[in-house]
Amino acid sequence: MASFDKLFSDLVAQEVNAQLAPILSQLQQQSEVIARLGSAFGAPVRRGPGRPPKALGAVKVSAPKAAKAVKVRSSGGQRGCAVIGCPRPARAKGYCAAHYQKYRNLEKTGRLPSDWTPDAAPQSANDVVLPRGRAGAKALAEAKKGKKK
């Protein structure tokens, strides 16, 4: 019985293959024709010197101009940070981003040194090393007391 089943299924498979073969080959031919047509249509319109047509399309679609403009603006003539020994360019009031934050902190807590002036000349202010931890809290408290008096 098992051998008969196998024979039968083989027969069915053969029959199906025989009927499907011409359809499959037709499909393949059609897809080849479509591919050829597509390349024939695509080639004369998009092909330029040196670049494949796909790359050209991609370049046209994605071009963020705003970011580039910002980059150009920020890379203009810049002066250095006002703090002596700081290699970064000035960002605000003559200080780099990090030292401007420090400037704001010192100003807010009433500990701004005399050489930390707004729009200070580059490399003109001595860096301030603030105490950290418990010593820092103590220094802050004393600065507040001095401010109130």
List interacting residues with Zn ion (CB under 5 A).
81, 83, 86, 88, 96, 99
Tell me the closest approach of the beta carbon of residue 132 to Zn ion, in angstroms. 19
Closest by CA position to 78, among listed 54, 94, 100, 56 = 94
Give the nearer residue to Zn ion in terms of CB position, either 53 or 89. 89
Q: Which residues of 31-50 are buried (b: 16+ CB within 10 A; e: fewer)?
A: eeeeeeeeeeeeeeeeeeee
Backbone dihedral angles phi then psi of residue 125, each to the nearest 5 degrees? -110, 135
Tell me the closest approach of the beta carbon of residue 109 to Zn ion, in angstroms. 19
Torsion of Cα atoms, 6 then 10 then 15 then 20, to 10°: 130
Give the nearer residue to Zn ion in terms of CB position, either 96 or 120. 96
Tell me the closest approach of the beta carbon of residue 116 to Zn ion, in angstroms. 11
Give the nearer residue to Zn ion in terms of CB position, either 12 or 84. 84
